[in-house]
């Protein structure tokens, strides 16, 4: 998502951090050990964590809830992206402008984590992430993800429909949009000391988009809590939109009558708009959107309108020839 100069995301995937080695080992330990061996697991995690500074040993209190039952309604037309690729090639400007931010992201404290819901709602609410998960209908979904930079992945996300959260919030009748605000912690997120970006990360949806069945709040991926670099403990998955709409590290949702201005839109509104629905027919001003590169295999495949999710969302947009819905 570069704006002015060429940035570090041009590095090859194989040059990205070997975090998956560490993760693979941790996964094995978790699976094999179970609760009785939790202290041993902790010890191992400490040891593993010591390999990279800032990687603190933390056992996610929600870990026991996983895996969630898969909702078979959402089918893929492609292989799942290998976990090691989806969790090591990341876009998270709070932690740097390269795709190699795994290590930096480990500094983010994800417990306790409160979500605040406010603005035009019946009852403003602040709720702890683990309490929220107890109240939400948890499930797993396989979704495609298409970054505006023309790379893509296919991920088993765990979470709950955003519509369930909207129902909990009870929006006022004149609320029209949701504004999602991510964390603001410049003391742990080095990228937030970069004054040129209008932190915190902000994105928005119309109420109709937010209550569309596809809009999904993510807490986990690959059958376990999401790693920090992928947006733990709470992010969005909006598979019909370019990836920048799917905010990570969400702390606040504001119901409003005004269309929110996203961080990228604020910086470069001619290139990154509010709707940002995937459409190969509308090129980005600086590159084509006709095809995408799959993380993992590196294969190039044609991009589909609404990223292939037209049957779910096309009715939300009155004109598929109007660029304003597609950047």
Ligand X SMILES: Nc1nc2c(c(=O)[nH]1)N[C@H]1C(S)=C(S)[C@@H](COP(=O)(O)O)O[C@H]1N2
* Residues flagged as binding site for Mo-molybdopterin: 90, 93-94, 147, 182, 230, 235, 246-248
Q: Among ligand X, Mo ion, none, what binds residue 230 when CB lies within 5 to 8 Å by partner kind?
A: ligand X
**Site residues, Mo ion (CB under 5 A):** 91, 147, 243-244
- Distance CA(161)–CA(174), nearest Å, equals 22
Which helix or strand (DSSP H or E) is residue 158 part of?
strand 151-161
* Residue among 132 and 215 whose Cβ is closer to Mo ion: 215
Q: Which of 144, 228, 248, 252 binds ligand X (CB under 6 A)?
A: 248
Termini Cα distance of the chain:
13
* Residue among 91 and 277 whose Cβ is closer to Mo ion: 91
- Interface with ligand X: number of residues (CB under 6 A): 17
* Residue among 126 and 288 whose Cβ is closer to Mo ion: 288
Q: Which of 94, 140, 181, 292 binds ligand X (CB under 6 A)?
A: 94
DSSP 8-state symbol, 15: G
Site for ligand X in 122-151 (CB under 6 A): 147
Q: Which of 192, 247, 277, 279 binds ligand X (CB under 6 A)?
A: 247
Beta-strand relationship, 177-182 and 151-161? unpaired
Q: Which of 220, 225, 249, 262 binds ligand X (CB under 6 A)?
A: 249
Q: Which of 66, 74, 201, 216 binds ligand X (CB under 6 A)?
A: 201
Integer-rounded Cα radius of gyration of the chain: 19
Question: Given the rule CB under 6 A, which of 157-165, 208-216, 246-254, 286-294 is the region that contacts ligand X?
Answer: 246-254
- Distance CA(213)–CA(130), nearest Å, equals 23
Q: Among Mo ion, ligand X, none, what binds residue 307 when CB lies within 5 to 8 Å by partner kind?
A: none
What are the b/e assignments for 284-311, b being 16+ CB within 10 Å?
A: eeeeebeebbbbbeeeeeebbbbbbbbe
The contact mask relative to ligand X for 158-187 (x = CB under 6 A, - = no) is ------------------------x-----
Minimum distance from CB of 40 to ligand X (Å)?
A: 30
In three-state form (DSSP H/G/I as H, E/B as E, the rest C), the secondary structure along 77-114 is CCCCCCHHHHCCCCCCHHHCCCCCCHHHHCCCCCCCCE
- Distance CA(38)–CA(183), nearest Å, equals 30
- Distance CA(222)–CA(176), nearest Å, equals 33
Q: Among Mo ion, ligand X, none, what binds residue 93 when CB lies within 5 to 8 Å by partner kind?
A: ligand X
Which pair of tokens denotes residue 118?
Answer: 């406010």
Residue stretches of the annotated binding site: 90, 93-94, 147, 182, 230, 235, 246-248
* Residue among 159 and 243 whose Cβ is closer to Mo ion: 243
User: Which of 144, 278, 156 has the alpha carbon at shortest distance from 218?
Assistant: 156
Q: Which residues bind ligand X (CB under 6 A)?
A: 1, 90-94, 147, 182, 201, 230-231, 243-244, 246-249
């Amino acid at each position: 998502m570069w704006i002015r100069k060429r940035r570090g995301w041009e590095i090859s995937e194989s040059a990205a951090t070997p975090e998956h080695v560490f993760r693979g080992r941790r996964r094995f330990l978790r699976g094999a050990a179970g609760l009785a061996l939790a202290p041993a697991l902790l010890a191992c995690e400490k040891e593993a964590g010591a390999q990279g500074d800032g990687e603190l040993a933390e056992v996610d209190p929600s870990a026991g809830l996983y895996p969630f039952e898969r909702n078979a309604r959402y089918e893929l037309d492609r292989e799942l992206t290998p976990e090691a690729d989806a969790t090591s090639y990341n876009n998270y400007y709070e932690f740097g402008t390269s795709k190699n931010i795994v290590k930096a992201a480990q500094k983010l404290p994800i417990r306790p984590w409160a979500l605040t819901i406010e603005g035009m709602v019946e009852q403003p609410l602040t709720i702890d992430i683990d309490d929220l998960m107890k109240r939400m209908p948890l499930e797993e979904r396989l979704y495609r993800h298409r970054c505006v930079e023309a790379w893509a992945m296919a991920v088993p996300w765990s979470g709950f429909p955003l519509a369930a959260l909207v129902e909990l919030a009870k929006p006022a009748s004149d609320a029209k949009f949701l504004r999602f605000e991510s964390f603001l912690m410049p003391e742990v997120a080095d990228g937030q000391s970069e004054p040129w970006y209008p932190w915190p990360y902000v994105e928005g949806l119309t109420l109709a988009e937010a209550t569309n069945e596809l809009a999904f709040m993510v807490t986990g991926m690959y059958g376990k809590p999401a790693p920090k670099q992928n947006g733990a403990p709470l992010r969005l998955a909006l598979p019909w939109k370019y990836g920048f709409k799917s905010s990570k590290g969400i702390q606040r949702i504001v119901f409003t009558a005004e269309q929110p201005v996203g961080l990228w839109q604020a910086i470069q509104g001619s290139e990154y708009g509010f709707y940002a629905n995937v459409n190969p027919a509308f090129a980005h001003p600086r590159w084509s959107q006709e095809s995408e590169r799959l993380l993992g295999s590196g294969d190039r495949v044609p991009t589909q309108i609404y990223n292939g999710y037209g049957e779910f969302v096309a009715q939300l947009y009155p004109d598929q020839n109007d660029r304003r819905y597609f950047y």
